[in-house]
């Protein structure tokens, strides 16, 4: 058998295997995308205000809301992993969403566990902001810093995790209790210095 025949046979079998391998992957991807779009649509339909807003948007633009949401998510992920606009996305996720829900919670007549949760969140947010300011030069050198920061911020406040309770009780409260007398003494000295100047 000549080398040319063996080579053609090899090419035929390798391309057949390649195409048979690619077809299920493409089908799986389209099925996964369809399930993601269904999930987005179901989440929108759960909230009557979002559903009404979505319907109005779709009437005006003739574009389905779930496609827009998926497109924005893909662009945000690209920005996050490429580094262009990653800081902005992290700040929006760690500030805008909690800010909105803090305002909603405070506007309610009954203050309950939600208001305490968001108060603790802002304490943790401030603590982490100070830490990031101090260590920022080093942290930004870490590969995939912004994706990890985004995941950490989501872990802090999403109801499935409520990681803010863990950070507050295991880190901040322990640090505060350990250094409470030093902090009180420093604040007392600052207060005395201010009153002497006035």
Q: Which of 82, 105, 132 is the last residue of a domain?
A: 82
Contacts of 125 (CB under 8 A, 6+ apart): 94, 95, 98, 156
Judgement on whether residues 89 and 74 belong to the same structural domain of the protein: no
Q: Which of 82, 97, 118 is the last residue of a domain?
A: 82
The whole-angstrom separation of Cα 62 and Cα 101 is 30
Q: What is the pLDDT of residues 43-63, one digit of tens each?
A: 788 878 878 888 888 888 888
Judgement on whether residues 78 and 91 belong to the same structural domain of the protein: no
Q: What is the mean pLDDT of residues 7-17?
A: 49
Q: Cα 93 vs. chain centroid, distance in angstroms?
A: 5
Contact 186, 125 (CB under 8 A): no
Judgement on whether residues 91 and 168 belong to the same structural domain of the protein: yes
Judgement on whether residues 43 and 93 belong to the same structural domain of the protein: no
pTM: 0.65
The string over 155-164, giving b where at least 16 C-beta atoms fall within 10 Å of a residue's C-beta and e elsewhere, is: ebbeeeeebb
The whole-angstrom separation of Cα 68 and Cα 83 is 22
**Residue 5: pLDDT above 60?**
no
**Residue 4: pLDDT above 80?**
no
Overall number of domains in the chain: 2
Judgement on whether residues 58 and 2 belong to the same structural domain of the protein: yes
Query: Average model confidence (pLDDT) for the chain?
Result: 81
Q: What is the pLDDT of residues 126-146, one digit of tens each?
A: 999 999 899 988 887 888 888
Judgement on whether residues 125 and 104 belong to the same structural domain of the protein: yes
Judgement on whether residues 113 and 193 belong to the same structural domain of the protein: yes
Contacts of 66 (CB under 8 A, 6+ apart): 37, 38, 40, 41, 44
Q: Which of 65, 82, 99 is the last residue of a domain?
A: 82
Judgement on whether residues 122 and 164 belong to the same structural domain of the protein: yes
Weakest-pLDDT range from 30-39, 54-63, 139-148, 189-198: 30-39
Contact 89, 79 (CB under 8 A): yes
The whole-angstrom separation of Cα 8 and Cα 19 is 16
Weakest-pLDDT range from 14-23, 62-71, 170-179, 187-196: 14-23
> Which pLDDT score, from 0 to 100, does residue 7 have?
44
Judgement on whether residues 195 and 119 belong to the same structural domain of the protein: yes
> Which pLDDT score, from 0 to 100, does residue 122 have?
93
The whole-angstrom separation of Cα 11 and Cα 40 is 43
Weakest-pLDDT range from 11-25, 116-130, 181-195: 11-25
Judgement on whether residues 113 and 163 belong to the same structural domain of the protein: yes
Judgement on whether residues 57 and 103 belong to the same structural domain of the protein: no
Q: At what angle do helices 48-61 and 65-82 cross, to 10 degrees?
A: 90
Q: What is the pLDDT of residues 70-109, one digit of tens each?
A: 888 888 888 888 878 888 888 888 898 899 888 888 888 7
Contact 59, 37 (CB under 8 A): no
> Which pLDDT score, from 0 to 100, does residue 24 have?
52
Query: Which range marks the domain in which residue 44 is found?
Result: 1-82
């Amino acid at each position: 058998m000549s080398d040319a025949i063996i080579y053609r046979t090899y090419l035929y079998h390798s391309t057949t295997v390649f195409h048979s391998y690619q077809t299920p992957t493409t089908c799986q991807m389209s099925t996964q995308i369809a399930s993601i779009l269904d999930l987005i649509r179901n989440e929108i339909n759960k909230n009557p205000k979002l559903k009404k807003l979505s319907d109005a948007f779709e009437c005006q633009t003739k574009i389905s809301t779930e496609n827009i949401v998926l497109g924005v998510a893909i662009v945000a992920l690209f920005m996050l992993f490429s580094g262009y606009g990653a800081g902005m996305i992290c700040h929006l996720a760690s500030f805008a969403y909690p800010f909105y829900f803090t305002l909603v919670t405070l506007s309610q007549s009954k203050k309950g566990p939600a208001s305490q949760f968001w108060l603790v969140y802002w304490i943790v947010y401030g603590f982490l902001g100070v830490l990031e300011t101090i260590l920022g030069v080093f942290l930004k050198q870490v590969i995939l810093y912004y994706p990890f920061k985004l995941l950490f911020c989501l872990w802090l406040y999403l109801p499935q995790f409520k990681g803010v309770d863990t950070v507050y009780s295991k880190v901040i409260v322990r640090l505060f209790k350990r250094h409470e007398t030093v902090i009180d003494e420093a604040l007392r000295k600052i207060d005395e210095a201010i009153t002497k100047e006035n």
